[in-house]
Structure 1
Amino acid sequence: MAHRQAQQRRPSIHDVASHAGVSAATVSKVMAGVTTVKPENAQRVFDAVELLGYRVDPLASDMRRAKRRIIGAIMPEFESEFFGQMVTQLESLAEQRGYTLVAASSRESEAREKEILERMHDWRVAGVVLAPVRNEHGPAAEFMKANGMTGVLIDRVLSDDAFDTVSADSAAASAEVARELIGKGHRHILVVGLGEQAATVRARLDGFRGTALALAPDVRIDVVLAESDVEPLRAQLRDYFDQGEGGSRGNRPTAVYSLFLKGTLVALSEFRRRGWHCPNDISLVGFDDAEWMQVTWPAIAAVVQPVRQIAGHAMEALFARIEGGEGPPRARLEPCQVLMRESVGSPGNGPHSGGGNRQ
């Protein structure tokens, strides 16, 4: 099976003992923090542990099994409705099959993502659903491949040569957003995103830009990408809009398309700080939906991701592999729904339209 290639044997306590020239019992004492071990022997153990990459096995020898009935799930964060709902769906689907789901957040850190995965490997999880910080080529996915772990990659992925992937069809959804905005007469559009979400940003940006340019070759598309967090994006947006205000009014975009949820909120906050109204002064569309976007006025247009479908197909693929399913990895794209709510209109069409582009 493709994703079980190049499996490496875990360094054992006996490997450490052999390399350090001490007994396994001495290694065990050092790792447990016993202070009666000679300092020079303890140092040799620590050196061997670092060199070999040894990690304490949390399963006692009399409890060791090939796999446990545990499914691991690693998400970039738990704050958004998308990933919160994803974990809820994955947990329910795991429990239906008699498994327990253990979920953790990488907090948008690839280093933490790999550390969590290493712990899940220690726990002998049966499989892992990984939503990587950036894409399918990160250190966590590489660790899974090197250690023969069974897994499925979701969300910020395109396709992979070792694992099944399931994600929203970001490119198609963004193309539909472009058709809507171009159709309403927008010819100057700002796209905002988060640079660390590499695979997601690329698909969404390319899908939007390609369709917009095909429909209106004269369209101006500006792009603002923050590297890692919303605060840098807030500052970049402020500078961007200040430049537009400092020049002619025609330099202000008539619509903003945010490629991620927090970016939508940041953009809306900046509009309100400047006294701009949607859609009269500027239109706004966000990728990903949230309850606040539906209840605010005007309600914010959104791309709704198919959480239930992604979770369902991810778990189907994962359990098929756990049960020995063979065959090449499959890349699956789930269609999104685009809801054009009240935050989108035609440019220069309202009482506050003096600051926007007039077509």
Structure 2
Amino acid sequence: MAQQESHQRRPSIHDVASHAGVSAATVSKVLSGVTTVKPENAQRVLDAVELLGYRVDPLASDMRRAKRRIIGAIMPEFESEFFGQMVSELEGLAEQRGYTLVAASSRESEAREKEILARMHDWRVAGVVLAPVRNEHGPAAGFMKANGMTGVLIDRVLADDAFDTVSADSAAASAEVARALVGEGHRHILVVGLGQQAATVRARLEGFRNTALELAPDMRIDVVLCESDVEPLRTLLRDYFSKREAGNDRPTAVYSLFLKGTLVALSEFRRRGWHCPNDISLVGFDDAEWMQVTWPAIAAVVQPVREIASNAMEVLFRRIEGEGGPPTARLEPCKVLMRESVGSPGSVPHSGGGDRQ
């Protein structure tokens, strides 16, 4: 029985040190990436780690420090490609630094967002990457500030007086969309968005509206905002288009400020038998694989996921390591791809399958 328990016991750092013939301190240095260890000793440690199946216990290591080598990440949801890719990028960057990423979804609930953050505080995470449900002034950011947590805010944020922020330059991207649609001759455009994403909607909507009206003062911009998700928006769009069709007053283009809105708009077009771009043009903020492979391919604003993740983790680790100074606000440029779903009002589809930038 004693032998069986010995086999089931988790290998310790001292087991690795004994097997490699080095001290526990040397093992710790090798696993932490310290390069001053003699190459032959480092190789013996790595061989022992593999042979014994040793894993660093994040809850037991570095007990002399108040923080653990865990990074928390809270996203509004995991269903979209944007947030799924974001978590994947953050995880890889954390592991490069010897940290473990623990990710959770707030499910678009500020109450749940704060609850998850409180749990992460109990775990004494070293830092948190938070994509808030609404903006940088929500209860989760307030909890982080009140409890002295180290963190960075991403995506649905503009700037903050307590935390560094990194997000896409939504206003500039929307201004580029406005220039493209005005250039194609559109003078009546519907903008679709989620009202609960205040910071994001404000930047995207204002960037689009200001540029469109500057270029075409006679531009008519209708706005449909939905406070929740897909089904209410589907009903709102159905009612909107029914009224406009009855009055022979429907827009010639739709700009959706979020990915699901693009899909809902396209579904409504097809239900009515409309085709892009000869019946109506469509541009969506955020790109997805289905938008690229459908015909016609849907024009999209592509967010810089990798750049946002990289800069967020860079500034987070600088703060973890004790760097002071005022918070920074960084905006990463997007790429706007005007695909075949966009044309002049009443035009025929563009030929070819490539992106027009």
TM class, shorter-chain normalised? Answer: 0.7 to 0.9
Instruction: Tell me how far apart the structure 1 counterparts of residues 327 and 116 of structure 2 sit (CA, whole Å).
Output: 24
Give the structure 2 partner of residue 83 of structure 1: 83
**What's the counterpart of residue 163 of structure 2?**
163
Residue 278 of structure 1: which of 276, 279, 298 is its match?
A: 276
Alignment-derived partner of residue 3 in structure 2: none
Instruction: Output one character per residue of 1:162-203: Cα deviation in whole Å (capped at 9) or x when no partner.
Output: 000000000000000000000000000000000111100000
**Counterparts of 1:258 and 1:195, CA distance in 2:** 12
Say which structure, 1 or 2, has more relative contact order (CA 8 Å, 6+ apart).
1
Rounded Cα–Cα distance in structure 1 between residues aligned with 2:274 and 2:97: 51
Specify the alignment match of 2:115 in structure 1.
Answer: 115
Letter in 2 for 1:78: F
Aligned to 1:343: 341
Name structure 1 gaps, 5 residues minimum: 1-58, 352-359
- Gap runs ≥5 in structure 2: 1-58, 350-357
CA distance in 1, matches of 2:348, 2:328: 48
Task: Please tell me the residue identity of whatever aligns with 2:71.
Answer: I
- Alignment partner of 1:345: what SS? coil
Q: Report sequence identity in percent.
A: 88
Q: Which residue of 1 aligns with 2:15?
A: none
Q: CA deviation at 1:350?
A: 3.6
1:242–1:64 Cα change, 3 Å: farther
Q: Does 1:255 align with 2:243?
A: no
Runs of 4+ in 1 over 3 A off after TM superposition: 62-65
| Corresponding position: 1:204 with 2:204 | yes
Shift of 1:235: 0.5
Match of 1:234 in 2: 234
Partner of 2:73: 73
| 1:1-359 alignment, distance < 5 Å | 65-247=65-247, 249=248, 251-350=249-348
1:65 CA drift (Å)? 4.7
What is the count of residue pairs matched by the alignment?
Answer: 290
TM-score of the aligned structures, taking structure 2 as reference length: 0.80
Q: Alpha-carbon deviations, 1:299-354, whole Å to 9, x = none?
A: 00000000000000000000000000010000000000000000000001249xxx
Give, in whole Å, the separation in 2 of the partners of 1:164 and 1:192.
Answer: 29
- Aligned residue type for 1:345: G
Which amino acid letter does the alignment assign opposite residue 261 of structure 1?
L
**CA shift for structure 1 position 64:** 8.1
Residues 233-288 of structure 1 deviation map (CA, whole Å, 9 limit, x = unaligned): 110000000101111x2x10000000000000000000000000000100000000
